[in-house]
Amino acid sequence: MVVLLVLLTIVIVIALQLYAEAHRHTQPASRLQQIRSSVEPLATERFIHPGHSWVEVKEPKLVTVGVDDFAPRFIGRLTSLLLPEEGGTVRQGDKLAALRRGNRVVWTAAPVSGTIVSVNHEAETRPSLVNESPYNKGWIVRIAPTNLRLELRNLLRGISADRWRDALRMHLIQSFVPRIGTVLQDGGTYVDNIGDALTDEQWQKVASEFFTFCSLIDDQSPTTLHAQNDEEGVLS
């Protein structure tokens, strides 16, 4: 499943690049330049999962995992962050963390399989930390991986990761600007709280284009999210 997701992602990246090349004379050059220049290179030891998570490998027996910058910007300033329990196990591609703003929830996927060794309680207590520093202070968990060497092959890194992030911006602009208005600031970076411009119905439709796991919930308590995860057999 994860391999198929990565392959589909690569196909989308190539298709968007071909589309941009075919239309480079019909679109303002400055706008395309803004989009391309908005992608900053990631740390060389950081790998990206298309389920909007990253894993930083500094030692093979303990890796740090976090959320990419797209997820928190899309959903907006977080009102709560649901993390798995320490000692639990996850599988690559399963739900890992729930990011919630009001009744809107998106889940990031686990980039690798393994045991949850520790969670970022500071981010859990102050979820806006994920908005402010998704690649550093806003990390979410540390995992003792069980099949790291093999599973890293399913992830994006370096230029491929940068192109995937670029493709996300292109896809958001080309597909949804007519509905949600301008989503980039001057200089090509995302505006915050993109989803706030959408009704719940619109948000659900747009979110499903970018997230494997997303939902609207009636109950605002974290217990609801725990129950939903338990029913689906994840975060065990």
Q: Where are the domains of the chain?
A: 2-231
Find the angle CA(126)-CA(132)-CA(135) to the nearest 5 degrees: 105
Distance CA 77, CA 193 (A): 7
Confidence of residue 197 (pLDDT cuts 50, 70, 90): confident
pLDDT of residue 131: 93
Residue 150 has pLDDT above 60, yes or no: yes
pLDDT of residue 6: 46
The model's pLDDT over 29-72, given as tens digits with 9 standing for 90+, comes to: 333 333 333 334 455 579 999 999 999 998 889 999 999 988 98
Residue 10 has pLDDT above 50, yes or no: no
Alpha helices in 84-233 (DSSP H): 121-125, 128-132, 148-151, 159-180, 200-210, 222-231
Residue 83 has pLDDT above 70, yes or no: yes
Among 38-52, 154-168, 214-228, which is the least confidently predicted range?
214-228
Distance CA 65, CA 70 (A): 15
pLDDT of residue 23: 43
Q: Which has more pLDDT, 96 or 188?
A: 96
Contact in structure between 81 and 127 (CB atoms under 8 Å): yes
pLDDT of residue 220: 54
CATH number given to 2-231 = 2.40.50.100
pLDDT of residue 168: 85
Residue 93 has pLDDT above 50, yes or no: yes
CA distances from 202 to 173, 196, 197 (A): 15, 10, 9
Distance CA 174, CA 17 (A): 12
Residue 184 has pLDDT above 60, yes or no: no
Q: Once rounded to an integer, what is the mean pLDDT over residues 148-166? A: 91
**To the nearest whole number, what is the mean pLDDT of the chain?**
77
pLDDT of residue 73: 84
Among 42-46, 76-80, 188-192, which is the least confidently predicted range?
188-192
The model's pLDDT over 105-116, given as tens digits with 9 standing for 90+, comes to: 999 999 999 999
Residue 218 has pLDDT above 50, yes or no: yes
